[in-house]
Structure 1
Amino acid sequence: MVGGGRSAAPGRKIMVVADPTQESAGALQYALSQAVVDNDELILFHVENPNSWRNTISMFLKKPGLMNSGPTSASARAGAGAGATTSVEGSFGRGDVEFLEEMKSACKLCKPKLRVRIEKKAMAEGKDKATVILDQTKVLGIDVLIIGQRKSLSTILLGYRLPGASSRATKPIDTAEYLIDNSNCTCVAVQKKGQNGGYLLNTKTHKNFWLLA
């Protein structure tokens, strides 16, 4: 698994799929608390879609304690975590602040030494989100891809069929599952289970792996 950032080799490129959703916020929280170390580079990647909705991430990230966990010392968590929560809450509600910048600010408040950058890519006609993300991991040389995953009843029953897939395909897949199966780099799909409930993780080699927060 990717957890236990303290023992991971430094200098990796870690990409978090960034959307204005609670699933994406949970993925970012997992990345910051369990996956990245200061020498890594964190890339917030957003697939631009003109029909996407915004601002739900603001309310989710404003919850107390979002950014005060992770593989740091108790004193560091007490100082940086409390300061991050207070400062972030003051800015997340502003409509003039893009959610990507909010996420980047949260990262810097939580881990000031971490290199963080934003990447965007428009969804071209005839392409789907999963393919755009997969292509970008190759272009940027990503080592670890982290994506929030929702396991609703409709997702389980209907899945996510890629455009152009045969109607006779036996197993529709969602975006996260497609990336897990097809990424050259390690891909981790994250489900956040409540504020203190831990994470349910899926990778190519680990299915429904439970990680306590």
Structure 2
Amino acid sequence: MGSETTARSRKVMVVADPSRESAGALQYALSHVVVENDELILLHVESSYSWWNTFSFRKIYSLTPGPMPNSCEGGGGVGEGDFLEAMRQVCRIAQPKIPVRLERTQLMEETKDKANTILNKSNLLRVDLLIIGQRRGFSTAILGTSRYKLSGGSGTKGLDTAEYLIENSKCTCVAVQKRGQNAGYVLNTKTHKNFWLLA
């Protein structure tokens, strides 16, 4: 009986930031992953160089029909609380029976490394499934070059954040690339590479 409860009650974590990759990962989670009794956790890793842009923030709200709240309209700047609350509202509209938890964490002092910060938080929360949006540029896809390799990220051995999490996460990690509005998703896990899933 206990194993049945575990199977029906999962913790699904989506790495949240105001980018189209994160919006695509959330859309994938809401449409293809979470089911009733799951808990959805939106994790944002804060840093001193956090950036915001109105297009990305509006992109989050394009996931669901209906008007955007006042904080999303116009050209004014938005803050972390705004975009996280926007994502939570999207979740409530798309999956009203799924509880949503917001988690904010700072980069770990020891490494200042986003991938290991996410990894540490997912382990602490005992997450069952980790989902992250992934941007695959020419250099990453063809040459294996990444932000970590170029910036000397600690312990990541040239992998980008998503690839590092796929290889090192205790739970299953899915990297999501949204392909256009209705073109589906390209998914990467430890066992499946470039798996195409229709929208």
* Structure 2 counterpart of 1:4: none
Q: CA RMSD in A?
A: 2.1
Aligned to 2:59: 60
> Which residue pairs with 2:87 in the alignment?
103
Aligned to 1:124: 108
8 Å contact from structure 2 (residues 134, 175) kept in 1: yes
2-structure distance, mates of 1:124, 1:131: 8
Question: Displacement of 1:48 after TM fit?
Answer: 0.2
**Kept in 1: contact 2:71–2:82 (CA 8 A):** no
AA aligned to 1:101 is: E
Q: What secondary structure does 2:41 align onto?
A: strand
Whether 1:49 aligns to 2:47 is yes
Q: Name the structure 2 match of 1:150.
A: 135
Task: Give SS of 1:184's match.
Answer: coil
Partner of 1:71: none
Partner of 1:42, secondary structure, is strand
Structure 2 residue ranges without an equivalent (≥5)? 1-5
What is the match of residue 179 of structure 1? Answer: 165
Distance 1:141 1:208, change over 3 A: same
Change in CA separation of 1:165 and 1:133 when aligned onto 2, cut-off 3 Å: closer
- What TM-score, normalized by structure 1, do the two folds share? 0.79
Superposed CA offset, 1:154-174 (max 9, x none): 4344222363459xx6xx210
Residue in structure 2 matched with residue 208 of structure 1 by the alignment: 194
CA distance in 1, matches of 2:137, 2:183: 18
Identity %: 55
Greater than 4 Å deviation, 4+ residue runs: none
Residues 159-192 of structure 1: per-residue CA shift (max 9 Å, x gap): 22363459xx6xx210000000000000000000
Instruction: Evaluate the alpha carbon distance shift between residue 62 and residue 102 of structure 1 in structure 2; reply closer, same or farther with a 3 A threshold.
Output: closer
Q: Specify the code of the residue in structure 1 equivalent to 2:73.
A: G
Matches within 5 A, 1:30-41: 30-41=28-39
**1:43–1:118 contact (8 Å) kept in structure 2:** yes
Aligned to 2:3: none
Contact 1:88 1:106 in 2 (8 A): no
Deviation at 1:91, TM superposition (A): 5.2
Structure 1 unaligned blocks of 5 or more = 1-7, 68-84
Relative to structure 2, which stretch is displaced further, 155-164 or 118-127? 155-164
Structure 1 residue 90 displacement after superposition: 5.7
Q: Figure out how many residues of one structure are paired with residues of the other and give that number.
A: 183
Query: Structure 1 residues 17, 164: CA separation in 2 closer, same or farther (over 3 Å shift)?
Result: closer
Q: CA deviation at 1:38?
A: 2.0
- Secondary structure, in 3 states, of the residue corresponding to 2:140? helix
Kindly state the Cα deviation for residue 58 of structure 1 after the two structures are TM-superposed: 1.8
Q: Which residue of 2 aligns with 1:92?
A: 72
1:115-138 deviation per Cα after TM superposition (whole angstroms, max 9, x unaligned): 001001011333300000000111
